[in-house]
Structure 1
Amino acid sequence: MAAAYVSIEQCVAVLSDFQADCSYIYAGNFGKLLGLLGDLFIDSAFEDCIFDKLNSEDVIERHALELHFFQYLKNLPEEEYRNYSTFSRLRSSDKKNVYYIIHRTMYLKRSPNGSVLFALCLYAASTNSEFRKGIDGKIVNIKTGETISSEKYKPYTESLLSQRELEILTHLAK
Protein backbone atom coordinates (compact mmCIF):
# COMPACT_ATOMS: atom_id res chain seq x y z
CA MET A 1 0.00 0.00 0.00
CA ALA A 2 2.86 2.37 0.79
CA ALA A 3 4.46 1.69 -2.61
CA ALA A 4 1.15 2.35 -4.37
CA TYR A 5 0.69 5.63 -2.49
CA VAL A 6 4.22 6.72 -3.45
CA SER A 7 3.59 5.95 -7.11
CA ILE A 8 0.61 8.33 -7.04
CA GLU A 9 2.07 11.12 -4.87
CA GLN A 10 5.73 10.76 -5.97
CA CYS A 11 6.68 11.32 -2.32
CA VAL A 12 8.80 9.18 0.01
CA ALA A 13 7.22 6.71 2.42
CA VAL A 14 9.10 5.00 5.23
CA LEU A 15 7.39 1.98 6.71
CA SER A 16 9.15 1.18 9.99
CA ASP A 17 8.91 -2.16 11.75
CA PHE A 18 9.96 -1.46 15.34
CA GLN A 19 9.76 -5.08 16.42
CA ALA A 20 12.22 -6.22 13.71
CA ASP A 21 14.18 -2.91 13.87
CA CYS A 22 14.07 -2.31 10.13
CA SER A 23 12.45 -0.01 7.59
CA TYR A 24 11.27 -0.14 4.02
CA ILE A 25 11.75 3.09 2.12
CA TYR A 26 9.67 3.69 -0.99
CA ALA A 27 10.92 6.64 -3.01
CA GLY A 28 9.03 8.43 -5.76
CA ASN A 29 10.55 11.27 -7.77
CA PHE A 30 10.75 13.48 -4.67
CA GLY A 31 13.22 10.98 -3.23
CA LYS A 32 15.89 12.20 -5.66
CA LEU A 33 16.11 15.47 -3.67
CA LEU A 34 16.95 13.33 -0.64
CA GLY A 35 19.48 11.23 -2.54
CA LEU A 36 17.18 8.23 -2.75
CA LEU A 37 17.13 6.31 -5.99
CA GLY A 38 14.43 3.69 -5.77
CA ASP A 39 13.25 1.57 -2.90
CA LEU A 40 15.50 0.56 0.01
CA PHE A 41 15.56 -1.81 2.95
CA ILE A 42 17.50 -0.56 5.98
CA ASP A 43 18.49 -2.32 9.20
CA SER A 44 17.02 0.35 11.44
CA ALA A 45 13.55 1.50 12.41
CA PHE A 46 14.84 5.07 11.95
CA GLU A 47 15.58 6.61 8.58
CA ASP A 48 18.91 8.30 9.34
CA CYS A 49 19.70 8.31 5.60
CA ILE A 50 16.88 10.88 5.30
CA PHE A 51 17.44 12.68 8.62
CA ASP A 52 21.05 13.38 7.53
CA LYS A 53 19.69 15.42 4.59
CA LEU A 54 17.53 17.60 6.84
CA ASN A 55 18.27 20.58 9.04
CA SER A 56 19.51 19.08 12.33
CA GLU A 57 17.51 21.50 14.52
CA ASP A 58 14.35 20.56 12.61
CA VAL A 59 15.08 16.85 13.06
CA ILE A 60 15.45 17.29 16.84
CA GLU A 61 12.20 19.26 16.99
CA ARG A 62 10.49 16.58 14.86
CA HIS A 63 11.71 13.85 17.22
CA ALA A 64 10.35 15.81 20.19
CA LEU A 65 6.98 16.17 18.44
CA GLU A 66 6.93 12.43 17.81
CA LEU A 67 7.61 11.74 21.50
CA HIS A 68 4.67 13.99 22.39
CA PHE A 69 2.59 12.18 19.76
CA PHE A 70 3.52 8.77 21.17
CA GLN A 71 2.66 9.82 24.73
CA TYR A 72 -0.63 11.37 23.63
CA LEU A 73 -1.69 8.27 21.68
CA LYS A 74 -0.86 5.94 24.59
CA ASN A 75 -3.77 7.52 26.45
CA LEU A 76 -6.31 6.98 23.66
CA PRO A 77 -8.54 3.94 23.24
CA GLU A 78 -7.29 1.26 20.83
CA GLU A 79 -9.89 2.12 18.20
CA GLU A 80 -8.92 5.84 18.18
CA TYR A 81 -5.15 6.06 17.83
CA ARG A 82 -5.06 5.48 14.05
CA ASN A 83 -7.14 8.63 13.56
CA TYR A 84 -4.11 10.83 14.38
CA SER A 85 -1.03 12.01 12.54
CA THR A 86 1.73 14.52 13.04
CA PHE A 87 2.30 17.25 10.47
CA SER A 88 5.47 19.31 10.31
CA ARG A 89 7.52 21.31 7.85
CA LEU A 90 11.22 20.51 7.69
CA ARG A 91 14.09 22.25 5.94
CA SER A 92 16.81 20.60 3.94
CA SER A 93 20.35 20.72 5.30
CA ASP A 94 21.62 22.30 2.05
CA LYS A 95 22.29 25.93 3.08
CA LYS A 96 22.67 27.14 -0.54
CA ASN A 97 19.44 25.66 -1.89
CA VAL A 98 17.04 25.37 1.03
CA TYR A 99 13.89 23.51 0.18
CA TYR A 100 11.00 22.63 2.44
CA ILE A 101 9.49 19.25 3.13
CA ILE A 102 6.12 18.30 4.54
CA HIS A 103 6.53 15.43 6.98
CA ARG A 104 3.83 13.23 8.50
CA THR A 105 3.97 10.37 10.99
CA MET A 106 1.24 7.81 11.57
CA TYR A 107 1.29 4.78 13.84
CA LEU A 108 -0.34 1.88 12.05
CA LYS A 109 -0.23 -0.87 14.63
CA ARG A 110 0.65 -1.15 18.27
CA SER A 111 1.15 -4.01 20.66
CA PRO A 112 -1.19 -4.74 23.59
CA ASN A 113 1.26 -2.97 25.93
CA GLY A 114 1.04 0.24 23.85
CA SER A 115 4.40 -0.01 22.05
CA VAL A 116 4.46 0.97 18.41
CA LEU A 117 4.90 -1.98 16.07
CA PHE A 118 4.55 -0.25 12.70
CA ALA A 119 4.85 3.42 11.77
CA LEU A 120 4.56 5.23 8.48
CA CYS A 121 6.42 8.47 7.76
CA LEU A 122 5.70 10.45 4.62
CA TYR A 123 7.98 13.07 3.08
CA ALA A 124 6.74 15.34 0.29
CA ALA A 125 7.62 18.66 -1.27
CA SER A 126 6.13 21.66 0.49
CA THR A 127 4.37 24.26 -1.61
CA ASN A 128 5.01 26.87 1.07
CA SER A 129 8.53 28.31 0.87
CA GLU A 130 7.88 31.15 3.32
CA PHE A 131 10.65 31.13 5.94
CA ARG A 132 9.46 30.47 9.47
CA LYS A 133 11.47 29.44 12.49
CA GLY A 134 10.68 25.96 13.71
CA ILE A 135 8.84 23.06 12.15
CA ASP A 136 5.29 24.31 12.82
CA GLY A 137 4.57 20.83 14.19
CA LYS A 138 1.03 19.70 14.89
CA ILE A 139 -0.88 16.63 15.95
CA VAL A 140 -4.04 16.35 13.88
CA ASN A 141 -7.10 14.14 14.06
CA ILE A 142 -7.14 13.12 10.39
CA LYS A 143 -10.71 11.84 10.72
CA THR A 144 -12.14 15.21 11.83
CA GLY A 145 -9.43 17.67 10.78
CA GLU A 146 -9.11 18.96 14.36
CA THR A 147 -5.66 20.20 15.37
CA ILE A 148 -4.88 18.99 18.87
CA SER A 149 -3.76 21.90 21.02
CA SER A 150 -0.43 21.48 22.78
CA GLU A 151 -2.24 21.87 26.12
CA LYS A 152 -3.82 18.46 25.47
CA TYR A 153 -0.52 16.64 24.91
CA LYS A 154 2.09 18.67 26.82
CA PRO A 155 1.06 17.20 30.22
CA TYR A 156 2.27 13.82 28.97
CA THR A 157 5.81 15.16 28.58
CA GLU A 158 6.35 14.69 32.29
CA SER A 159 6.29 10.94 31.69
CA LEU A 160 8.58 10.90 28.63
CA LEU A 161 11.60 9.78 30.64
CA SER A 162 11.85 8.23 34.07
CA GLN A 163 13.97 9.85 36.76
CA ARG A 164 16.62 7.14 36.26
CA GLU A 165 16.66 7.70 32.47
CA LEU A 166 17.21 11.41 33.08
CA GLU A 167 20.10 10.61 35.46
CA ILE A 168 21.74 8.35 32.87
CA LEU A 169 21.37 10.96 30.12
CA THR A 170 22.86 13.61 32.41
CA HIS A 171 25.88 11.37 33.10
CA LEU A 172 26.28 10.59 29.38
CA ALA A 173 26.19 14.30 28.56
CA LYS A 174 28.96 14.97 31.11
Structure 2
Amino acid sequence: MDIQKKISRNFQMQPFSSDDDSEKTHFLKTIALGYAVTENAISVLSDLKYNKSYIYYGGMAELLGIADSYTNETVNSIWEKKIYDSIHKDDLSKKHINELRFYNFIKNLPPQKREGFFVKESLRMFSRENKCFAVTHRMFYFYENYNNNIRFSLCLYNLRMDDEKEESFILNSLSHESYILDNEYDNRILSEREIEILRLIEKGMSSIDISNTLSISKNTVSRHRQNILEKLQAKNSVEACKIAKEMKLI
Protein backbone atom coordinates (compact mmCIF):
# COMPACT_ATOMS: atom_id res chain seq x y z
CA MET A 1 0.00 0.00 0.00
CA ASP A 2 1.35 3.44 -0.94
CA ILE A 3 0.43 5.07 2.38
CA GLN A 4 2.28 2.31 4.21
CA LYS A 5 5.41 3.18 2.23
CA LYS A 6 4.98 6.88 3.05
CA ILE A 7 4.74 6.20 6.76
CA SER A 8 7.84 3.97 6.64
CA ARG A 9 9.77 6.69 4.85
CA ASN A 10 8.63 9.30 7.40
CA PHE A 11 9.98 7.27 10.27
CA GLN A 12 13.22 6.23 8.60
CA MET A 13 14.10 9.80 7.58
CA GLN A 14 14.15 10.92 11.20
CA PRO A 15 17.65 11.74 12.52
CA PHE A 16 17.80 9.15 15.29
CA SER A 17 20.36 9.61 18.04
CA SER A 18 23.24 7.17 18.57
CA ASP A 19 22.59 6.83 22.32
CA ASP A 20 22.41 3.36 23.90
CA ASP A 21 18.69 2.61 24.05
CA SER A 22 18.76 -1.02 25.17
CA GLU A 23 17.30 -0.22 28.59
CA LYS A 24 14.31 1.66 27.13
CA THR A 25 13.77 -1.09 24.55
CA HIS A 26 13.68 -3.72 27.29
CA PHE A 27 11.28 -1.58 29.36
CA LEU A 28 8.83 -1.16 26.45
CA LYS A 29 9.06 -4.85 25.52
CA THR A 30 8.00 -5.64 29.09
CA ILE A 31 5.02 -3.30 28.75
CA ALA A 32 4.00 -4.92 25.45
CA LEU A 33 4.25 -8.40 26.99
CA GLY A 34 2.19 -7.26 29.97
CA TYR A 35 -0.65 -6.02 27.75
CA ALA A 36 -0.74 -9.27 25.79
CA VAL A 37 -0.89 -11.42 28.92
CA THR A 38 -3.28 -9.37 31.08
CA GLU A 39 -5.72 -8.42 28.29
CA ASN A 40 -5.41 -11.58 26.14
CA ALA A 41 -4.44 -9.11 23.43
CA ILE A 42 -1.98 -8.99 20.57
CA SER A 43 0.65 -6.32 21.15
CA VAL A 44 3.25 -5.13 18.67
CA LEU A 45 6.19 -2.97 19.70
CA SER A 46 7.87 -1.54 16.59
CA ASP A 47 11.39 -0.12 16.74
CA LEU A 48 11.37 2.53 14.01
CA LYS A 49 15.12 3.10 14.15
CA TYR A 50 16.01 -0.53 13.40
CA ASN A 51 12.88 -1.41 11.36
CA LYS A 52 12.04 -4.27 13.71
CA SER A 53 8.92 -5.41 15.58
CA TYR A 54 8.48 -7.47 18.74
CA ILE A 55 5.10 -9.23 18.69
CA TYR A 56 3.45 -10.75 21.77
CA TYR A 57 0.43 -13.01 21.41
CA GLY A 58 -2.29 -13.39 24.05
CA GLY A 59 -5.33 -15.66 23.85
CA MET A 60 -6.87 -13.57 21.07
CA ALA A 61 -4.12 -14.67 18.67
CA GLU A 62 -5.00 -18.35 19.11
CA LEU A 63 -8.71 -17.53 18.67
CA LEU A 64 -7.92 -15.96 15.30
CA GLY A 65 -5.49 -18.72 14.33
CA ILE A 66 -2.57 -16.29 14.05
CA ALA A 67 -0.32 -17.85 16.71
CA ASP A 68 -0.43 -19.91 19.89
CA SER A 69 -1.37 -18.10 23.10
CA TYR A 70 1.47 -16.57 25.15
CA THR A 71 4.09 -16.86 22.46
CA ASN A 72 6.15 -14.13 20.83
CA GLU A 73 8.27 -13.45 17.79
CA THR A 74 10.55 -10.79 16.32
CA VAL A 75 10.19 -9.70 12.68
CA ASN A 76 12.46 -7.48 10.60
CA SER A 77 9.74 -5.01 9.66
CA ILE A 78 7.55 -2.40 11.34
CA TRP A 79 4.55 -3.89 9.50
CA GLU A 80 3.10 -7.03 11.07
CA LYS A 81 2.00 -8.88 7.91
CA LYS A 82 0.65 -11.93 9.72
CA ILE A 83 -1.77 -9.69 11.62
CA TYR A 84 -2.59 -7.48 8.64
CA ASP A 85 -3.60 -10.53 6.60
CA SER A 86 -6.46 -11.16 9.04
CA ILE A 87 -7.82 -7.58 8.93
CA HIS A 88 -10.65 -6.70 6.55
CA LYS A 89 -9.02 -4.96 3.57
CA ASP A 90 -11.19 -1.82 3.90
CA ASP A 91 -10.36 -1.54 7.59
CA LEU A 92 -6.65 -2.06 6.88
CA SER A 93 -6.73 0.82 4.40
CA LYS A 94 -8.51 2.97 6.98
CA LYS A 95 -5.94 1.97 9.61
CA HIS A 96 -3.03 3.18 7.48
CA ILE A 97 -4.80 6.45 6.67
CA ASN A 98 -5.42 6.99 10.37
CA GLU A 99 -1.73 6.37 11.09
CA LEU A 100 -0.83 9.08 8.56
CA ARG A 101 -3.38 11.39 10.21
CA PHE A 102 -1.92 10.65 13.64
CA TYR A 103 1.64 11.22 12.41
CA ASN A 104 0.66 14.65 11.04
CA PHE A 105 -1.22 15.48 14.23
CA ILE A 106 1.77 14.65 16.46
CA LYS A 107 4.31 16.39 14.24
CA ASN A 108 2.25 19.60 14.39
CA LEU A 109 2.30 19.62 18.20
CA PRO A 110 5.17 21.09 20.22
CA PRO A 111 7.13 18.27 21.93
CA GLN A 112 5.90 19.24 25.38
CA LYS A 113 2.27 18.80 24.27
CA ARG A 114 2.58 15.27 22.81
CA GLU A 115 2.30 13.22 25.98
CA GLY A 116 -0.78 11.06 26.38
CA PHE A 117 -2.05 11.01 22.79
CA PHE A 118 -2.99 7.79 21.02
CA VAL A 119 -5.22 6.52 18.21
CA LYS A 120 -8.25 4.30 18.88
CA GLU A 121 -10.31 2.64 16.15
CA SER A 122 -12.48 -0.37 15.41
CA LEU A 123 -11.40 -3.12 13.01
CA ARG A 124 -12.85 -6.35 11.67
CA MET A 125 -10.52 -9.33 11.89
CA PHE A 126 -11.11 -12.83 10.57
CA SER A 127 -10.13 -16.24 11.90
CA ARG A 128 -8.86 -19.04 9.67
CA GLU A 129 -12.44 -20.33 9.60
CA ASN A 130 -13.47 -16.88 8.26
CA LYS A 131 -15.36 -15.97 11.42
CA CYS A 132 -15.47 -12.18 11.88
CA PHE A 133 -14.44 -10.57 15.18
CA ALA A 134 -14.89 -6.92 16.19
CA VAL A 135 -11.52 -5.61 17.42
CA THR A 136 -10.32 -2.40 19.04
CA HIS A 137 -6.93 -1.17 17.84
CA ARG A 138 -4.90 1.40 19.78
CA MET A 139 -1.57 2.90 18.80
CA PHE A 140 0.84 4.87 20.98
CA TYR A 141 4.13 6.63 20.15
CA PHE A 142 7.23 6.80 22.32
CA TYR A 143 9.91 9.41 21.69
CA GLU A 144 13.66 9.81 21.91
CA ASN A 145 14.73 12.01 24.81
CA TYR A 146 17.46 13.62 22.72
CA ASN A 147 15.43 15.13 19.88
CA ASN A 148 11.80 14.04 20.44
CA ASN A 149 11.70 11.96 17.26
CA ILE A 150 9.18 9.12 17.20
CA ARG A 151 11.30 6.08 18.08
CA PHE A 152 8.79 3.35 18.99
CA SER A 153 5.15 2.62 18.25
CA LEU A 154 3.01 0.26 20.32
CA CYS A 155 -0.06 -1.29 18.68
CA LEU A 156 -2.62 -3.13 20.81
CA TYR A 157 -5.37 -5.34 19.39
CA ASN A 158 -8.22 -6.34 21.74
CA LEU A 159 -11.56 -8.03 21.18
CA ARG A 160 -14.06 -5.17 21.19
CA MET A 161 -16.71 -4.74 23.87
CA ASP A 162 -20.29 -4.38 22.60
CA ASP A 163 -20.75 -0.91 24.07
CA GLU A 164 -17.64 0.61 22.48
CA LYS A 165 -18.12 3.25 19.79
CA GLU A 166 -17.00 2.40 16.27
CA GLU A 167 -15.61 5.83 15.29
CA SER A 168 -11.88 6.43 14.96
CA PHE A 169 -10.42 8.89 17.46
CA ILE A 170 -7.25 10.59 18.53
CA LEU A 171 -7.52 10.61 22.33
CA ASN A 172 -5.46 11.92 25.22
CA SER A 173 -5.36 9.78 28.35
CA LEU A 174 -4.29 12.75 30.50
CA SER A 175 -6.36 15.71 29.31
CA HIS A 176 -9.34 13.72 27.91
CA GLU A 177 -9.08 15.64 24.62
CA SER A 178 -10.62 13.78 21.69
CA TYR A 179 -10.66 14.30 17.93
CA ILE A 180 -12.80 12.23 15.57
CA LEU A 181 -10.74 10.99 12.62
CA ASP A 182 -12.91 11.50 9.57
CA ASN A 183 -12.95 13.54 6.36
CA GLU A 184 -13.68 16.68 8.35
CA TYR A 185 -10.46 16.09 10.29
CA ASP A 186 -8.57 15.57 7.02
CA ASN A 187 -9.72 18.96 5.84
CA ARG A 188 -7.80 20.44 8.76
CA ILE A 189 -4.58 18.76 7.59
CA LEU A 190 -4.50 20.96 4.47
CA SER A 191 -5.66 24.57 4.34
CA GLU A 192 -8.46 25.60 1.97
CA ARG A 193 -5.88 27.24 -0.29
CA GLU A 194 -3.72 24.09 -0.33
CA ILE A 195 -6.73 21.95 -1.27
CA GLU A 196 -7.60 24.46 -4.00
CA ILE A 197 -4.06 24.29 -5.38
CA LEU A 198 -3.98 20.50 -5.14
CA ARG A 199 -7.18 20.28 -7.20
CA LEU A 200 -5.55 22.44 -9.89
CA ILE A 201 -2.39 20.31 -9.77
CA GLU A 202 -4.57 17.23 -10.23
CA LYS A 203 -5.95 18.82 -13.39
CA GLY A 204 -2.40 19.04 -14.74
CA MET A 205 -1.86 22.77 -14.27
CA SER A 206 1.68 24.11 -13.86
CA SER A 207 2.76 26.50 -11.11
CA ILE A 208 2.58 29.42 -13.57
CA ASP A 209 -0.94 28.41 -14.63
CA ILE A 210 -2.01 28.15 -10.99
CA SER A 211 -0.38 31.50 -10.25
CA ASN A 212 -2.37 33.18 -13.04
CA THR A 213 -5.62 31.42 -12.14
CA LEU A 214 -5.48 32.35 -8.45
CA SER A 215 -3.77 35.74 -8.91
CA ILE A 216 -0.93 34.85 -6.58
CA SER A 217 2.82 34.80 -7.17
CA LYS A 218 4.64 31.74 -8.49
CA ASN A 219 6.75 31.72 -5.29
CA THR A 220 3.57 31.52 -3.22
CA VAL A 221 2.39 28.58 -5.31
CA SER A 222 5.75 26.86 -4.85
CA ARG A 223 5.56 27.36 -1.10
CA HIS A 224 2.06 25.85 -0.98
CA ARG A 225 3.19 22.90 -3.12
CA GLN A 226 6.05 22.17 -0.73
CA ASN A 227 3.72 22.39 2.28
CA ILE A 228 1.33 19.94 0.60
CA LEU A 229 4.14 17.40 -0.01
CA GLU A 230 5.30 17.68 3.60
CA LYS A 231 1.83 17.36 5.13
CA LEU A 232 0.89 14.36 2.97
CA GLN A 233 4.41 12.90 3.17
CA ALA A 234 4.57 12.58 -0.60
CA LYS A 235 7.69 12.74 -2.76
CA ASN A 236 5.98 14.43 -5.72
CA SER A 237 2.71 15.98 -6.83
CA VAL A 238 1.38 12.80 -8.46
CA GLU A 239 1.83 10.93 -5.19
CA ALA A 240 0.25 13.81 -3.25
CA CYS A 241 -2.85 13.72 -5.45
CA LYS A 242 -3.15 9.95 -5.00
CA ILE A 243 -2.96 10.19 -1.20
CA ALA A 244 -5.38 13.13 -1.17
CA LYS A 245 -7.91 11.06 -3.14
CA GLU A 246 -7.57 8.17 -0.68
CA MET A 247 -8.28 10.64 2.13
CA LYS A 248 -11.13 12.17 0.05
CA LEU A 249 -9.57 15.63 0.14
CA ILE A 250 -10.07 16.11 -3.60
Contact 1:84-1:106 at 8 Å conserved across structures: yes
Among residues 41, 57, 70, which one is paired with 2:74 in the alignment? 41
Q: Which has the higher strand share?
A: 1
The list of structure 1 runs, each at least 4 consecutive aligned residues, that deviate by more than 2 angstroms after superposition, is: 93-96, 110-116, 149-158, 165-170
Q: Deviation string for 1:81-132 (max 9, x for gaps)?
A: 23111000100145852111100011012586664210000000012289x9
Please, which runs of 5 or more residues in structure 2 have no aligned partner? 1-30, 191-227, 243-250
Contact 1:16-1:120 at 8 Å conserved across structures: yes
Distance, in Å, in 2 between the alignment partners of 1:19 and 1:118 is: 8
User: What's the TM-score once normalised by structure 1's chain length?
Assistant: 0.82
Q: 1:110 to 1:153 in 2, by over 3 A?
A: farther
Q: CA deviation at 1:44?
A: 0.3
Contact 1:111-1:117 at 8 Å conserved across structures: no
Q: Does 1:71 align with 2:143?
A: no
User: What's the TM-score once normalised by structure 2's chain length?
Assistant: 0.59
Among residues 75, 78, 87, which one is paired with 1:54 in the alignment? 87
The RMSD of aligned alpha carbons is: 2.8
Distance, in Å, in 2 between the alignment partners of 1:167 and 1:11 is: 35
Contact 1:100-1:129 at 8 Å conserved across structures: no
Q: CA deviation at 1:169?
A: 8.6
Q: CA deviation at 1:168?
A: 8.8
Distance, in Å, in 1 between the alignment partners of 2:75 and 2:43 is: 13
Q: Does 1:32 align with 2:65?
A: no
Distance, in Å, in 2 between the alignment partners of 1:168 and 1:5 is: 37
Contact 1:71-1:153 at 8 Å conserved across structures: no
The amino acid across from 2:73 in the alignment is L
Contact 2:123-2:135 at 8 Å conserved across structures: yes
Q: CA deviation at 1:149?
A: 4.3
Q: CA deviation at 1:33?
A: 2.8
Among residues 109, 118, 123, which one is paired with 1:90 in the alignment? 123
Among residues 150, 167, 171, which one is paired with 1:116 in the alignment? 150
Distance, in Å, in 1 between the alignment partners of 2:240 and 2:171 is: 33
Q: 1:167 to 1:61 in 2, by over 3 A?
A: closer
Q: Does 1:21 align with 2:21?
A: no
Q: Deviation string for 1:8-35 (max 9, x for gaps)?
A: 1111110000110010001111121341
Q: Which has the higher helix share?
A: 2
SS of structure 1 residue aligned to 2:110: coil
Please, which runs of 5 or more residues in structure 1 have no aligned partner? none
Among residues 125, 138, 147, which one is paired with 2:169 in the alignment? 138
Question: Comparing 144-153 with 33-42, which one deviates more in the overlay?
Answer: 144-153
Q: CA deviation at 1:2?
A: 1.5
Distance, in Å, in 2 between the alignment partners of 1:110 and 1:139 is: 21
Q: Number of aligned pairs?
A: 167
Q: Does 1:128 align with 2:128?
A: no
Contact 2:169-2:179 at 8 Å conserved across structures: yes
